[in-house]
Amino acid sequence: MKLHEQSLASLKAGLEQGDFSSRQLTQHFLERIRSLDPRLNSFITVTADAALAAADAADAARARGEAGPLCGLPLAHKDIFCTRGVRTSCGSRMLDNFTSPYDATVVARMAAAGAVMLGKTNMDEFAMGSSNETSYYGPVRNPWDQDRVPGGSSGGSAAAVAAGLAPAATGTDTGGSIRQPAALNGITGLKPTYGRVSRLGMVAFASSLDQAGPMARSAADCALLLEAMAGHDPGDSTSVDRPVDDCQTGLDRSLEGLTVGLPEEFFPQNLDPRIAEVTREAVRELEKQGARVVDISLPTMKYSVPAYYVIAPAEASSNLARFDGVRYGYRCEHPENLTDLYERSRSGGFGDEVQRRILVGTWALSHGYYDAYYLRAQRVRRLIRDDFARAFEKVDVIMGPTTPETAFPLGAKSGDPVNMYMADVFTIAVNLAGLPALSMPAGQLDGLPAGVQVIGNYFDEARILNVAHRYQQATDWHRRSPDTGGEA
């Protein structure tokens, strides 16, 4: 098996056994990026020289017997994470010229574990989008069909992993932005419990919703990455002070006695019946392994999309107020006065979707509308959380489709924002409740991957990783790769 077809766990074993060095491994992936990424556009910045230097350092550390859990393993970071001395653009014109003076906690922890950063991946501008078409650097293309979207906003990370340009990558999930692109690209993506992973150095979109997580081929790979990136961070007030669970030891735990809930709201009448069947087939596989399935209901889930598109833009309008052209980022030329500086810097530095959400959020927070919309949306959010709490009194995990369809053509929804927003209809409720959830590949329709979502109770990442791993031990959907046309 070629290096880029192997899982992260397999590559780790190869490094430990001396089958290849980190430099050889890193050179392999850098050559893949050089050869194939001009067609996919999954990377914004490639840090080749720094990657090779880090690989040499990892090889030296291993020779000294000082190898960390990710020693010598290459990965990519979504360009929303600050990286010291490297451009952190957030997929935007506004931060196109911004070089971060420090590392995000996620980046620092990965580096401390020995990981080698290949570069920064493309994304929807400021993580606002469901197709990776809002990026200032152009759309990412899905490696399974380059005329289709990879999903968003972590589409660059998902496409890079699926195409074998990186064995793993980081992503962020505000309303489904790890799970949705993972599903559309046929990889595994984990959105941890809110607060499980530090948000320090992760450029904020919606502070009460954003959460970093791993993207890789398998659940086992995601478990390895989560243990490296998770944990309390005193520098992040939203970080939860609790020990990091051992997610790897329990991966092979039996599913005998596991109770799986299937919410009727995940199977609406207008859902593509093939997507529904992919989900039910995955559940049947778990039943073969001893799981018990029960029907449940999440009645307020139908309000999750409208509630989200009040709360998230409101928080975005506040978070993005700092980008005004004064201290850093894009600045218009020859401003006439301070007002002109603000207006032209922000209108020129932000794209259409970001401007749309800032306007909606500012309106929702304005006098006369705050109570009518923002506070009401927050009350709905609590009802959604309560629905999940009642469900988890009866079940161990909840399952359903990750997305209502497979990857759609580039440009198909660009002119219809509301239709685009509905791409996250099955993922948003999880973010509003702050729960952990994972998307795993579970089938293909017309040659395109389809994903199934596993949702767990708070801080129960180990269980959903166990469920996904046992499923992946019995199936091979996560091992399938697109034909990239490259032999590098």
Query: Comparing C-alpha atoms, which of 322, 327, 315 is closest to residue 101?
Result: 327
pLDDT by residue for the chain (488 residues), tens digit each?
899 999 999 999 999 999 999 999 999 999 999 999 999 999 999 999 999 999 999 999 999 999 999 999 999 999 999 999 999 999 999 999 999 999 999 999 999 999 999 999 999 999 999 999 999 999 999 999 999 999 999 999 999 999 999 999 999 999 999 999 999 999 999 999 999 999 999 999 999 999 999 999 999 999 999 999 999 999 999 999 999 999 999 999 999 999 999 999 999 999 999 999 999 999 999 999 999 999 999 999 999 999 999 999 999 999 999 999 998 899 999 999 999 999 999 999 999 999 999 999 999 999 888 888 999 999 999 999 999 999 999 999 999 999 999 999 999 998 888 889 889 999 999 999 999 999 999 999 999 999 999 999 999 999 999 999 999 999 999 999 998 875 55
Domain spans in the chain, listed from the N-terminal domain onward = 14-255
Instruction: Provide φ and ψ at 132, rounded to 5°.
Output: 60, 30
Catalytic status, residue 177: yes
Q: Which residue among the candidates 12, 78, 120, 191 is catalytic per the annotation?
A: 78
135 catalytic residue (yes or no): no
pLDDT in tens, 388-441: 999 999 999 999 999 999 999 999 998 888 889 889 999 999 999 999 999 999
Of 135, 153, 317, 439, which residue is the catalytic one? Answer: 153
Cβ contacts of 429 within 8 Å, gap of 6 or more: 298, 301, 304, 384, 388
Q: Pick the catalytic residue: 177, 218, 239, 304?
A: 177
Provide the pLDDT for residue 31: 98
Domain 14-255 classification at class level: alpha beta
pTM for the structure as a whole: 0.96
**Farthest CA pair distance, the chain:** 70
- Is residue 100 annotated as part of the catalytic site, yes or no? no
Q: Determine if residue 380 is left, alpha or beta; phi over 0 gives left, psi from -120 to 50 gives alpha, anything else beta.
A: alpha
Contact 60, 152 (CB under 8 A): no
